[in-house]
Structure 1
Amino acid sequence: MLQDLNIASRMARRKILGLDHEETLSSTAMIGAVFLAGARWTEAEALFVQVIQTRKRVIGEEHPDTLISMANLILTFWNKGRWKEAEELELQGMETRKRVLEEEHPHTLTSMASLALTYRTQGRWDDAEALFVQVMKIHKMKLEADHPDTLTSMANLASTY
């Protein structure tokens, strides 16, 4: 039902607003998220790629909506076990966030932790450890020792060890 409503909404927006309009892209991204949640990863991937390409062209690769679309595609790659492709996209997103938001921004730290998880999944323990240590140090410096983000970063590092 939800999927049908999203598809109808997307079709109407494409017709009225055009393919490049943000409302159309948002509808497309929502359908991709529904596909992702329903384990329809190939369909989700196709939509996320389309949204990323259009957003990069229309609003730029540094725009938060473009970076969110990249994160959705990364989740799709994770579900498909395509770790190298996830890693490449995570590196792009992390470097962009470092440049635009700075290293200590919560979104940058999330990107760093995501990349570290990908490294860990690939058995790249040293690379994962180095990123998890960075994330944990920044969380300890910026947040309380018992803050959930600090504790999560500590747990990620511990499970890497």
Structure 2
Amino acid sequence: MANLAATYWLQGRWKETEGLDVKVLKARTIALGGEHPNTIKAMANLAVTYRNQGRSKEAEELEVRMRVLNENFSETIRALAKLAKIKKDLDENDRATELMRRSVTVTSIVLGDNHPNFTSPREQATT
């Protein structure tokens, strides 16, 4: 559905694009959850479609939701890294390692390993 929506988008077929974008967003929300990166990507696609239709208010509402979700992810990543550092300082090395692995996993899922805003777990723990 997402690929067909992209094809319609390239053709300027906004109503068909919108219909599929809405379905993709609903399906991803149900299957992956509202905070999953692929669900957020579906929100972004729908927001662009709304903007192309001159529906700025609806696009802005989705963009605000996306910003909040992305900020929550960033805060979660930082919190895991900081907690790992605390556990390391307390010589709870097994727990520190577990938390750092979770931080790296979440970072990889949310930002991707090659994202320009990616910071290493060590940098996260010190910020």
Shorter-chain TM-score tier: 0.5 to 0.7
Select 1:133's aligned residue among 27, 47, 64: 64
Question: Aligned in 2, Cα 1:105/1:134: closer, same or farther, shift over 3 Å?
Answer: same
Q: Which runs of 5+ in 1 are unaligned?
A: 1-69, 151-161
The structural deviation recorded for 1:149 is 9.0
Which residue is 1:89 aligned to? 20
| Shift >4 Å, 4+ stretches | 147-150
The structural deviation recorded for 1:104 is 0.2
Select 1:111's aligned residue among 42, 50, 63: 42
Q: Which runs of 5+ in 2 are unaligned?
A: 79-110, 118-127
Higher relative contact order (CA 8 A, sep 6+): 2
Which residue is 1:98 aligned to? 29
TM-score scaled by length of structure 1: 0.46
The structural deviation recorded for 1:82 is 0.3
- Secondary structure of the equivalent of 2:2? helix
1:109–1:135 CA contact under 8 A, matched in 2: yes
The size of the alignment, in residue pairs, is 80
1: distance between equivalents of 2:26 and 2:116? 21
Name the % identity.
43
The structural deviation recorded for 1:72 is 1.1
Question: Aligned in 2, Cα 1:128/1:142: closer, same or farther, shift over 3 Å?
Answer: same
1:98–1:108 CA contact under 8 A, matched in 2: yes
Q: Partner amino acid for 2:44?
A: A
Which has the greater radius of gyration? 2
Matched, 1:78 2:39: no
